[in-house]
Structure 1
């Protein structure tokens, strides 16, 4: 209900430039507004514009000031926050309340282990190293109701270089193997499922996609690997590309033959595990590529439940007065996955709502 006005605000008041909306695969369709990076990444440019707008309004931003405790009165109304600074601890008080905008807990291995599982702690961190779970640790003492704690977004990544091979995984080409040379999942899955499954079903959170030169996205993906000196395999034979990737050559040669035979015989569904490509492609035209991937965690979806006013709810089903959560700090918005643009969209919508609610509370307190 509020995203259209939020986009207008970002464009007109904040100065964010958006690229032309283009149709994308379901469920994105024509709904994703991409920020024009103007020479930077879209995310970096968005932050740059927002910080400039904050400075223009005279709002002070304090760095290296970590929130460690929510302050409240004897009726559990949030009145401020205790801060750890380089000079010591300070207490900040607010008439309007406090908005938690810390993101989730993907960079906190203990919380990831507790709420999602030990296997997920071995995933590569795709997002910020600062998302360490203050949305949980700060609000639980106030008996906040936290929901969707086991839910998160996954995606492929190369931990050492942060190259993203998602386009190859989404291409509908090739087979996916672990470092022992065994297939471990149906290749007809989204990059989200492939990344999650790689972390769950391989001992080292590492997989390889074996494709031939007909894969249509190689011209987009391989230059990224080259630019960042990120290793991959490329050779004129399956045996050689397997050697380059450190995979067992004989096993990969046999597996590619099994796959090609199944494509020609229409028996992909009988492979173990079954492959359900609707329009399968043979792996036969050199050069052949072995593109690596690791399962990465983008963001967690769990956190304190909010209502439509961005107010945090407690375990009794009531609002905690003066406490708000926005963006991925909040819970109850996403489950299993999200549509493109929805995370920043939700942050924009509920961030603005929380700001207005806090301003009204502050005015009423005068």
Structure 2
């Protein structure tokens, strides 16, 4: 088999690279390890951008220079400034490009907390239904009750970005991209320092593919226990868990390293979630700053304003705790407050939603969660009973709550300076609690690239013909993944934009060598 550009990976970055290279007039073949295209990109909502047509129409004041400055300051200038500038400059062009492919957007106008300080979100419009078959739903790990009933796969509707992925796949085929699913790449071939091809198991048959350039867009290594432990320090399945079933094992990252590629900063795309069903009232109730957060020892360790406001910061605080977990507690008094005055934070995934807690639906959700073997929910009539059920020392929890209630009565949190408006004492049964654990969507970083998405070797030199895009090269998020929250949709934006940059430069390289 012979082509000009091989793209490894059929998710957002890979499809963007393949389409862009094909538009430049070169032959492109895309190889996806799994039977389905899109991967976890199908579970998203939208992407970050600045200076788009929609934003210009609204006279949106946040510009590319502002985005560049925010990213660099947020990473303490540890990110590659030239790469960040290339990403930011590409943002409006990528939105226009996607619109020309047939993707429609609307601006996200509700952000779940004050810490979403930059409204960059471009929601993909649901211009078509994308219903994933049971096998794909199970593969993605969102079966039934979104992981709460993992043994009962059923067809589900994909996220908004599933619409975008399907449109991109259609356009890729229309533009002549050869797409091979269930076809993992096993090796990247190099002669005299230049990329010359790949070896892939195409539908189970070992095949050598000759090419002049390769774009690695294979994602992270969140399911590789050894790599995760070695490069991030986390124990998979103990310290941290994966939110989906796509087995990303970092094999192509290792292939790049084997060719001499430099390693770049790596980390899990970390966040924390409650062990609860995906039910709006229930989840929103626990993600409120009125609640109390304690560790396995029954002590406060974080300002509860991080609940719902910035799950990454809450996750980072949990990393320092024993068992790397947290328990969120509220009482009947706080429940009534949410019913009467409403939620402070509303997760955008649950739009539209009642601003106030629906008591009847909440009770139904409580009953369902208590019956589920896959969730962790406690309802107790006393603090001692609550402590025993969540496994903390009752005397310590009692002391913690007494101190917290004292702060509430004084209107000043002398420990973590929680906003006084959120200080509601916990003393009215029933008491509700759930457990939060660390999760990740993927890992970020691994392969070092420059602003042209060219892969660099350990001497800082370009490996001719080798490019990388998306999570496998997204070290910018490894410094502090909360960047993806501050700049809404940044993770997928990086994938799409570096994919386009890689595809364009890979095609240019092919033309330059004849």
Instruction: Name the TM-score class by shorter chain.
Output: 0.7 to 0.9
**Who is 2:96 aligned against?**
8
CA 1:158 to 1:171, structure 2 compared with 1: closer, same or farther past 3 Å? Answer: closer
Q: Distance in 2 between matches of 1:225 and 1:138?
A: 48
**Who is 2:325 aligned against?**
206
**Who is 1:18 aligned against?**
105
1:36-58 CA-partner distances (Å, limit 9, x unpaired): 34554123223222222223334
How many residues are aligned here? 357
Q: Indicate yes or no: 2:462 matched with 1:319.
A: yes
**Who is 2:502 aligned against?**
354
Q: Distance in 2 between matches of 1:265 and 1:244?
A: 30
The answer to whether the 8 Å contact 2:194/2:463 transfers is: yes
Q: Distance in 2 between matches of 1:225 and 1:143?
A: 54
The alpha carbon displacement at 1:176 in A equals 1.3
Which runs of 5 or more structure 2 residues have no equivalent in the other structure? 1-88, 130-157, 346-355
The answer to whether the 8 Å contact 1:135/1:303 transfers is: no
Q: Distance in 2 between matches of 1:162 and 1:115?
A: 32
Q: Distance in 1 between matches of 2:245 and 2:221?
A: 10
The answer to whether the 8 Å contact 2:296/2:321 transfers is: no
The answer to whether the 8 Å contact 1:124/1:159 transfers is: no
Q: Indicate yes or no: 2:409 matched with 1:291.
A: no
CA 1:278 to 1:119, structure 2 compared with 1: closer, same or farther past 3 Å? Answer: farther
The alpha carbon displacement at 1:125 in A equals 0.7
The alpha carbon displacement at 1:331 in A equals 4.2
Bigger shift: 241-250 or 329-338? Answer: 241-250
Pick the structure with more helix per residue.
Answer: 2
Which of 191, 196, 200 lines up with 1:83 in the alignment? Answer: 200
Q: Distance in 1 between matches of 2:510 and 2:462?
A: 17
**Who is 2:34 aligned against?**
none
The alpha carbon displacement at 1:227 in A equals 7.0
Q: Distance in 2 between matches of 1:333 and 1:304?
A: 12
Q: Indicate yes or no: 2:480 matched with 1:336.
A: yes
The alpha carbon displacement at 1:364 in A equals 3.6
Q: Distance in 2 between matches of 1:162 and 1:202?
A: 26
CA 1:161 to 1:202, structure 2 compared with 1: closer, same or farther past 3 Å? Answer: farther
Q: Distance in 2 between matches of 1:35 and 1:2?
A: 18
Bigger shift: 283-292 or 100-109? Answer: 283-292
Secondary structure (helix, strand or coil) at the match of 2:228 reads helix
1:239-273 CA-partner distances (Å, limit 9, x unpaired): 5555665555555444323211122235633xxxx
**Who is 2:314 aligned against?**
194
CA 1:167 to 1:106, structure 2 compared with 1: closer, same or farther past 3 Å? Answer: farther
Q: Distance in 2 between matches of 1:126 and 1:163?
A: 16
**What TM-score, normalized to structure 1?**
0.84
The answer to whether the 8 Å contact 2:189/2:199 transfers is: yes
Which runs of 5 or more structure 1 residues have no equivalent in the other structure? none
CA 1:61 to 1:362, structure 2 compared with 1: closer, same or farther past 3 Å? Answer: same
